[in-house]
Structure 1
Amino acid sequence: MPPRHPAPISWLLTDSRLGSDLPGIVRRLPRGSGVVVRHHHLPPAERRALLRRLRRLATGHGVKIVDDQGGCVARVHSARELCRALLRKPELLFLSPLFATRSHPDWQPLGHMRAAALVRMAKRPAMALGGMSARRYRQVRSLGFAGWGGIDAWTGRGWKKPSRE
């Protein structure tokens, strides 16, 4: 994203779990949000058609659609991954997981100290990812995050990590 167009603060990362709900979710996103289209499981022609459809939905609604392919988006989970990602100079950088997440239920959250260290190491705007919501973003914004992304936060279904009783 060119500097004259600041990156959105809140992002939806698409996932096959969203299924046929995806267009409706995109329509309900707040003006100024962004969507990172992943859907790597789709054949190339279907994926391009999905991107075109989502871009049409977003036009005039103030929602930015970003294609995850081509290296413009990096999701990192450690200092090593961050160093590798920074060599590619991605437009968007997501640090994950900040909290327990359905996408990776067995992964240990980064914790505030490690997350803050990674944000400082990034030396560029970084987004919080993993179990995020607008409320949780307000809790971690002071660590240096420029925004946040999520999946379940936008579906209205939410997700809580199952207890291990």
Structure 2
Amino acid sequence: MTRAKPLPALWLISDARNDAGLERALAKLPRGSGWIYRHYHLAGPERYARFRVLRRIARAKGHVTILADSALTAREWGADGIYGAARSLCPRRAGLIHLATAHDLAELGLAARIGADAALLSPVFPTRSHPGGGVLGPVRFRLLARQSRLPVIALGGMTAAQARALGWPRWAAIDGLSS
């Protein structure tokens, strides 16, 4: 899908562990960054209430707001798009940004085939989300990302310093943008 304007290069991802500092983190992001709201730890009504508070801050800064949920829920809640495994993004819904998760070349290919706007390829570096888990590392990440037919956003242990060392323009973080 061709987008009218480019996707943000910088993405903040919400999580239970960074919830207390999200207002501050959203306010500190450069104008027009991206924000992915997960908050799987909250029940429906509480999750929606927290989303509304944070969406207000994100909108004031011109951030793109993505919801880890269905296209129907994203529209009902006023999100700009959806995030999840490529299979969960089907069928494609017009008017919403689709961000797919990917961990290998097959998942990048699937994300491209279903028409995702970008893929978050992870984990690049060791991460608190998956302690002791395997990582792609910088060389493998770049090899995979360069073969992708869609924009790739680096995820996993990312900080501003890691993004510079990786030499990749698009990246996302939980802890790396929250502390």
Q: TM-score over 0.5 for the alignment?
A: yes
Q: Could you give the per-residue CA deviations for residues 34-77 of structure 1, whole angstroms, max 9, x where no partner exists?
A: 11111123222222222222221122312221112233222211
Q: Is the 8 A contact 2:117 2:151 kept in 1?
A: no
Q: Is the 8 A contact 2:100 2:111 kept in 1?
A: yes
The question of 1:125 aligning with 2:131 is answered no
Q: Is the 8 A contact 1:131 1:150 kept in 2?
A: yes
- Corresponding pairs, count: 153
The question of 1:152 aligning with 2:175 is answered yes
- Aligned residue type for 2:178: T
| DSSP 3-state at the match of 2:7 | coil
Q: Is the 8 A contact 1:34 1:64 kept in 2?
A: yes
Q: Determine which of 120, 137, 155 is the counterpart of 1:111.
A: 137
Which residue in the other structure is 1:92 paired with?
118
- Aligned residue type for 1:36: I
Which residue in the other structure is 2:108 paired with?
82
Determine the C-alpha separation between the residues in 2 that align with 1:147 and 1:95. Answer: 11
Q: Is the 8 A contact 1:9 1:147 kept in 2?
A: yes
Cα distance change on mapping 1:2 and 1:87 into 2, 3 Å: closer
C-alpha displacement of 1:12:
0.6
Determine the C-alpha separation between the residues in 2 that align with 1:41 and 1:125. Answer: 29
| DSSP 3-state at the match of 2:39 | coil
| DSSP 3-state at the match of 2:145 | helix
C-alpha displacement of 1:2:
6.3
Alignment RMSD (CA, Å): 2.0
Which residue in the other structure is 2:75 paired with?
none
Cα distance change on mapping 1:53 and 1:2 into 2, 3 Å: farther
Which residue in the other structure is 2:22 paired with?
22
Determine the C-alpha separation between the residues in 2 that align with 1:2 and 1:23. Answer: 31
Which residue in the other structure is 2:164 paired with?
138
Stretch of structure 1 that moved more, 31-40 or 51-60: 51-60
The question of 1:54 aligning with 2:80 is answered no
Cα distance change on mapping 1:42 and 1:90 into 2, 3 Å: farther
- Aligned residue type for 1:122: S
Stretch of structure 1 that moved more, 7-16 or 79-88: 79-88
The question of 1:73 aligning with 2:96 is answered no
